[in-house]
Amino acid sequence: MSYIVFDLEWNQCPYGKQAENPLLPFEIIEIGAVRLNEARESTGSFHALVKPCVYRRLHYQTSRVIGLSEEDLQKGIPFTEAAEAFLEFCGEDPVFCTWGTLDLTEFQRNLRFYDMLDRLPGPILYEDVQKLFAIQFETRADRRSLSYAVEFLNLPEEEAYHLASADAEYTARVFRRISPVIAKKNYSVDCFQNPKTRDEELRLKYDTYEKFISREYEAREDVMNDAHVTAVHCFLCHRNVKRVIRFFADGGGRNYLAAGLCPDHGYVKCKVRVREAQSGKYYAIRTTKMISEEEMQRLRAKQVMLRVKKQNRRK
């Protein structure tokens, strides 16, 4: 097993959103990576400049941030060659590590554009080093920049940021400071390639909550009509429990909340987020965790407040 700590730089349409290719809003122009063994020792590095073929001119924001010019990119190689070389570098069963959630998604989107998505099956479990840094050193909700984390940990800074190789190396240095226990217990899942069948659905258990990722449904309303999705069960003993608060919409119909009561372990909060898949269909991300009676009462008050607001809008 190897950790593949990688970073991407990408370009977007320089002529505005109306002129972009909807299948490839962000075109990868640079890939940088560091390979680590289980002891988090470096065992290799990777770098590739990618010659753009969709957006040949740099967007003004891209050219302002990255240290590359259009002339530099013309010396690059086609994405298909860069991606094949990168995946070969990754080896078998890599554990990807990124700063944030975007790089892995955009890499898969570029793979799909070139009919290469079968080279990296999903959903993909990975380590979001930005999230892990927040959990270990600040609060779970914080999301800091890479430069902030490097400075916070007093790590050496030799190169400019927003170069793929440099950012991959900085991310690797931060990752080495993350407790292996925290990393193991707080892995992330990328759903660019979400489950397509009931057998492929994911159930991921963490220390304080459980996450379920459903298969795809034809319509948004089909998601919440499936009892398999809306079942409320105890996070600790996994038995189905009696609902004390039925599911209600929160967040414009994209999120739904409910609560149940386990006779042995207390109150359970269940949140279902309905998301649109890359296929245009819909799927659910359900999180379940134990809550106090006080938290349950706040949830009930929120349900009442939203119900009153809805009634007032109808008048």
Boundaries of every domain in the chain:
2-188, 196-314
Q: Distance between CA 209 and CA 39 in Å, rounded?
A: 28
Cα 73 to Cα 108: distance, rounded to the nearest angstrom? 21
Q: How far is Cα 315 from Cα 310, in angstroms, rounded to an integer?
A: 9
Residue 96: which of 210, 202, 224, 8 has the closest Cα? 8
| 97 CB neighbour count, 10 Å cutoff | 28
Q: Are 106 and 84 in contact (CB under 8 A)?
A: no
Question: What is the structure's pLDDT at 315?
Answer: 66
CA distance 132 to 182: 7
Q: Which CATH number fits domain 196-314: 3.20.20, 1.20.1260, 3.40.50, 3.30.530?
A: 3.30.530
Q: pTM here? A: 0.88
DSSP assignments along 92-134, one per residue: SSEEEEESSSHHHHHHHHHHHHTT-GGGS-SSEEEEEHHHHHH
CB contact burial 186-222 (16+ within 10 A = b; e otherwise): bebbbbbbbbeeeeebbeeeeeeebbbbbbbbeeeee
Instruction: Let me know if domain 2-188 sits in CATH 3.30.420.10.
Output: yes
Q: What is the pLDDT along the chain (315 residues), one digit of tens a residue?
A: 899 999 999 999 999 889 999 999 999 999 999 999 999 999 999 999 999 999 999 998 888 888 888 898 999 999 999 999 999 999 999 999 999 999 999 999 999 999 999 999 999 999 999 999 999 999 878 899 999 999 999 999 988 888 999 999 999 999 999 999 999 999 999 999 999 999 999 999 998 899 999 999 999 999 999 999 999 999 899 899 989 999 999 877 789 999 999 999 999 999 999 999 988 999 999 999 999 999 999 999 999 998 888 777 776
Which residue's entry shows tokens 């398999």? 228
